[in-house]
């Protein structure tokens, strides 16, 4: 009886820290790629602002990855393993297989972000700000799918209403992308206008 009670308490502790790890991990991934966007767009700034901004963003990226994002990932994975040890029956269920597959994709995404950071540090990253904005939506979709699997398990809904909800999420993400693009274009036009005015005043 004591063993069962101890297992139950341990399960709740593992689950609590697993959730904390997930929150920290996703927060880190979201903000990390946002810093990548700022880092890339700093290339359009004149010197010395460009060098100052890129150095600052590079420092922030490394700290975010090493202090928040990667530790969050390690806590998430280690607590997940502990949960599966206490509840091995989950490994026999289809929803868990699907969830683990999505988590594997998320781990691949994390690894690719590490590679992108190294390329940014070396000045060899070929991604544009707009492409990075699209990339930054990937963990959102994975988060939605993983949460739905955890909540519904083997009763994963396939009705039209569910797919309507998924469609709304995709539409929301697309709207965010379009708005970000509009803001970027507006900013570029303002900078071009300011440059033209400065050139005109210099000539006069």
Q: How much is the pLDDT for 65?
A: 96
pLDDT in tens, 26-80: 999 999 999 999 999 988 888 888 889 899 999 999 999 999 999 999 999 999 9
Q: What are the residue boundaries of the structural domains of the chain, listed by start? A: 2-156
99 annotated as a binding-site residue = yes
pLDDT in tens, 136-177: 888 988 898 898 888 888 776 666 556 666 677 667 766 766
Distance, CA of 91 to CA of 165 (rounded, Å): 28
Q: How much is the pLDDT for 145?
A: 86
Confidence band (pLDDT; 50, 70, 90) for 20? very high
Residue 180, pLDDT above cutoff 70: no
Confidence band (pLDDT; 50, 70, 90) for 200? low
Token pair of 100 as six digits: 């683990």
Q: What is the mean pLDDT of residues 98-127?
A: 93
119 annotated as a binding-site residue = no
Q: What is the mean pLDDT of residues 79-103?
A: 92
Distance, CA of 28 to CA of 120 (rounded, Å): 17
How many Cα atoms are found within 13 Å in the side-chain-facing hemisphere of 33?
A: 24
- For residues 125, 127, 130, 136, the Cα torsion angle rounded to the nearest 10 degrees is -80
Q: How much is the pLDDT for 111?
A: 97
């Amino acid at each position: 009886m004591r063993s069962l009670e101890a297992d139950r308490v341990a399960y709740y502790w593992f689950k609590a820290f697993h959730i904390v790890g997930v929150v920290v991990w996703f927060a880190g991934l979201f903000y990390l790629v946002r810093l990548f966007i700022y880092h890339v767009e700093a290339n359009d700034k004149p010197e010395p602002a460009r060098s100052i901004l890129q150095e600052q963003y590079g420092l922030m990226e490394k700290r975010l990855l090493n202090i928040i994002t990667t530790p969050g990932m390690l806590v998430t994975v280690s607590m997940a393993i502990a949960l599966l040890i206490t509840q091995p029956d989950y490994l026999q269920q289809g929803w868990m297989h699907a969830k683990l597959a999505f988590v594997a994709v998320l781990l691949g995404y994390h690894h690719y972000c590490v590679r992108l950071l190294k390329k940014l540090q070396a000045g060899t990253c070929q991604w544009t700000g707009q492409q990075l904005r699209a990339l930054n939506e990937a963990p959102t979709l994975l988060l939605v799918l993983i949460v739905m699997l955890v909540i519904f398990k083997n009763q994963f809904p396939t009705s039209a209403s569910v797919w309507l909800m998924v469609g709304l999420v995709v539409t929301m993400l697309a709207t965010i992308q379009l708005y970000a693009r509009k803001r970027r274009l507006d900013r570029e036009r303002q900078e071009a206008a300011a440059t033209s005015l400065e050139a005109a005043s210099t000539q006069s």
